[in-house]
Amino acid sequence: MMREVITYSQLELFECIIFDLDGTLCDTIGDIKRSLSDTFLCYDYPLPDMERLRVGPPLSVMIDELLGGNTDKAFIEKIAAEYRKYYEASEYEISPLYYGVFELLLNLKIAAGKKLAIATLKREASTLRLVDRRKIGKFFDKIFCCDTGGEMQSKDQMIAQIISQLNVVPNKTIIFGDSVSDITAGQKIGIKTVAVLFGYGTPEELIAANPDYICNNYLIYSQ
């Protein structure tokens, strides 16, 4: 069953709005592919088929899937460590905001006075650099990454901390995300969920995760 497209007037009913980053606010796959390619070339390793890349899971899972699965864990960690060097030094020229994101954040923060947050499985160094390059950091009250605070965190742990630190209640909080893990994490904490259908997850798997709402594009919120 197709879910209802969330409207701006419905968003206004929430006190806190949380966003995933990759595939939700920014189309980051271009810079991710480029940094991975540079990493494999650095090790003189045959370049995998980048069309197989699935953005969203933890980096080690992404690399393992890209290499066909069952890859030596030590090799994955070596590739991951080198990749981070390339990616965290990137200027993110090919990681644009999705159309309508800036206007949506501006309206939610400045016009509607909402509390906004990011919850992402990216590391803090690359996340903060990316939001700075895209000039959206000023809109967010909290930015939680997988390594915020020095310990690896799951998405539901990030959501719980955002709710606690922003002093909001779950039934007034909603999350936008393009992966099943975003939807299930929100459901675990007891907040409303929006499946972003234009990101890196497939519409079929996102709908099957039973989100409360869907979002086909952000342009409808700035008209």
Transcribe the chain into DSSP letters: -PPPBPPHHHHTT-SEEEE-SBTTTB--HHHHHHHHHHHHHHTTPPPP-GGG---SS-HHHHHHHHTTS---HHHHHHHHHHHHHHHHT---TT-PBPTTHHHHHHIIIIIS--EEEEE-SS-HHHHHHHHHHTT-GGG-SEEE-TTGGGS---HHHHHHHHHHHTT--GGGEEEEESSHHHHHHHHHHT-EEEEETTSSS-HHHHHHT--SEEES-SGGG--
| 189 falls within a domain | yes
- At 173, list the tokens: 């909080």
Same domain, 54 and 134: no
The percentage of the chain sitting over the pLDDT mark of 70, rounded to a whole number, equals 98
Range of the domain at 204: 8-28+95-221
Which pLDDT belongs to residue 47? 84
CATH of the domain at 108: 3.40.50.1000
The most confident of the ranges 1-10, 84-93, 131-140 is 131-140
- At 116, list the tokens: 């906004």
Domain boundary residue, one of 62, 88, 114: 88
| 83 falls within a domain | yes
pLDDT at residue 87 greater than cutoff 60 = yes
Same domain, 69 and 112: no
Same domain, 124 and 147: yes
pTM above 0.85, yes or no: yes
Which pLDDT belongs to residue 58? 81
| 162 falls within a domain | yes
Same domain, 65 and 39: yes
Same domain, 35 and 129: no
| 3 falls within a domain | no
pLDDT at residue 2 greater than cutoff 70 = no
Contacts of 223 (CB under 8 A, 6+ apart): none
| 2 falls within a domain | no
Secondary structure in 3-state letters for 171-189 = HHEEEEECCHHHHHHHHHH
Same domain, 76 and 137: no
Which pLDDT belongs to residue 172? 97
Mean of pLDDT over the chain: 92
Which pLDDT belongs to residue 93? 93
Which pLDDT belongs to residue 189? 97
Same domain, 79 and 179: no
Q: Listing from the earlier edge strand, what are the strands of the sheet with 16-19?
A: 142-144, 115-119, 16-19, 173-177, 192-196, 213-215
Same domain, 112 and 19: yes
Same domain, 82 and 143: no
Same domain, 138 and 56: no
Query: How many domains, the chain?
Result: 2
205 C-beta neighbours (distance < 10 Å), count: 12
- What would the pLDDT profile of 22-51 be if each residue is shown by its tens digit? 999 999 999 999 999 999 888 778 888 888
Domain boundary residue, one of 88, 105, 130: 88
Distance CA 87, CA 166 (A): 30
Contacts of 81 (CB under 8 A, 6+ apart): none
| 52 falls within a domain | yes
Pick from 22, 33, 38, 48: nearest CA to 200? 22
Distance CA 211, CA 208 (A): 8
Same domain, 16 and 102: yes
| 84 falls within a domain | yes
| 1 falls within a domain | no
Pick from 217, 216, 8: nearest CA to 112? 8
- What would the pLDDT profile of 193-203 be if each residue is shown by its tens digit? 999 999 999 99
Same domain, 69 and 141: no
